[in-house]
């Protein structure tokens, strides 16, 4: 039995019809207007088939008002839309900037910025063109091809939103952990100069000394601070910080030397000194002019895995290898988790074990 289509095209009424029977039209013959809530569960393959049945070149714009009703006249239309062009369903974003004056200049600047991000999301850049209807600011229409397999339109909408956020972060300097990671990976580390270190970003100008116990403990603590924090974080090796009133900013890029064993040495030091291993910890080399950076990305960790413990501690400059240290991030500084807090966590866990509400280790 064939699955119910999540969206179809009604030729008689010249509209898109959702699975619940709701119809969506637009202001003209080449435009359909849907609500952002409509995209949840709307299969990309179904929309592609519906538009193909309707007309090639159709554009689907997205109303992002809080009201679920769609009003063609008063809707607030997002900068992300969808188009069926020559049989290809694409995600389109409109990006406003006067930084580039030709299609070639825009492509040269935008393509390397977006490509790493798009690749991770099974997408690719199709075209970048200036919108002839606008002069100031210039509007760049960016067309993105996304694999529709196993995805709904909400997922493709998020790909477009993420690409737009990355471009806006690059231009404005307002960064998040995710866009900072994308800027680093796309070779735009220079955008971070002048930015503050803080709850999710830490930089170090030179490699940790991974030949010494102190260096191994230090890198494990650096990762643990973000693993124990609420929002995760990024450690960048190869950028210099500078103290300023109220905190510390990134002042320069100072690439670090690399060899074939360096990333593995980082991984080994963390594995030996940090428990439990953080989920999805990513350690990678990012090329920059005249060298490389090492980027350690620590995604937000499940609360039930915390606190992350470091085997070893550094006290008054001395390495205490038999100690256990627990650190977390707060603002620009690191603070130890207090003994009462650790005791409360352990006592709560033991109480749950006694009541049989937590699985016990077979060993």
Binned at pLDDT 50, 70 and 90, residue 27 comes out as low
Relative to beta strand 201-204, strand 233-237 is parallel
CB 19, CB 41: distance < 8 Å: yes
Report how many helices (DSSP H) and strands (DSSP E) the chain contains, helices first: 7, 20
Tell me, what's the pLDDT at 141?
Answer: 94
The three-state secondary structure class of 130 is strand
Binned at pLDDT 50, 70 and 90, residue 136 comes out as confident
Residues of the chain with CATH 3.30.950.30: 193-354
**DSSP type of residue 300:** -
d(CA 137, CA 141): 13
d(CA 343, CA 340): 5
CB 122, CB 97: distance < 8 Å: no
Q: Span 247-251, mean pLDDT? A: 91
What CATH class is the domain 193-354? alpha beta
Q: Span 163-181, mean pLDDT? A: 86
pLDDT at 269 over 90: yes
d(CA 143, CA 68): 27
pTM of the model: 0.71
Binned at pLDDT 50, 70 and 90, residue 155 comes out as very high
Point out the least confidently predicted range of 145-154, 276-285, 339-348: 339-348
pLDDT digits (tens, 9 = 90+) for 68-107: 555 555 566 788 999 988 888 999 999 998 888 899 999 9
């Amino acid at each position: 039995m064939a699955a119910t289509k999540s969206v179809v095209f009604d030729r008689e009424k010249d509209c898109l019809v959702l699975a619940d029977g709701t119809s969506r039209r637009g202001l003209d013959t080449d435009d359909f207007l849907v609500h952002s809530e409509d995209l949840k569960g709307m299969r990309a393959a179904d929309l592609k088939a519906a538009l193909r049945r309707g007309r090639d070149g159709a554009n689907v714009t997205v109303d992002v008002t809080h009201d679920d009703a769609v009003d063609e006249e008063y809707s607030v239309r997002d900068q992300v839309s969808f188009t069926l062009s020559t049989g290809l369903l694409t995600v389109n974003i409109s990006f406003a900037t006067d930084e580039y004056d030709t299609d070639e200049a825009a492509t040269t600047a935008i393509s390397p910025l977006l490509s790493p991000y798009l690749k991770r999301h099974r997408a690719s850049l199709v075209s970048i063109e200036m919108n002839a209807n606008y002069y100031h600011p210039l509007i760049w229409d960016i067309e993105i091809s996304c694999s529709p397999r196993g995805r709904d339109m909400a997922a493709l909408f998020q790909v477009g939103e993420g690409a737009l956020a990355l471009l806006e972060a690059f231009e404005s300097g307002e960064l998040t952990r995710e866009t900072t990671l994308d800027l680093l990976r796309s070779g735009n580390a220079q955008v971070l100069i002048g930015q503050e270190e803080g709850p999710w970003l830490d930089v170090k100008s030179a490699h940790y000394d991974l030949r010494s116990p102190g260096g191994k403990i230090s890198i494990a603590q650096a990762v643990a601070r973000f693993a124990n924090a609420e929002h995760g974080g990024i450690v960048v090796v190869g950028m210099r910080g500078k103290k300023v009133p109220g905190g510390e900013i990134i002042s320069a890029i100072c690439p670090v030397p690399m060899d074939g064993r360096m990333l593995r040495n980082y991984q080994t030091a963390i594995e030996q000194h940090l428990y439990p291993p953080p989920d999805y910890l990513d350690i990678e080399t990012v090329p920059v002019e005249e060298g490389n950076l090492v980027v350690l990305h620590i995604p937000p960790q499940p609360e039930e895995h915390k606190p992350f413990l470091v085997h070893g501690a550094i006290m008054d400059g001395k390495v205490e290898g038999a100690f256990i240290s627990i650190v977390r991030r707060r603002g620009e500084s690191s603070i130890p988790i207090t003994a009462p807090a650790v005791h409360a966590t352990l006592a709560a866990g033991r109480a749950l074990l006694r009541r049989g509400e937590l699985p016990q280790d077979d060993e």
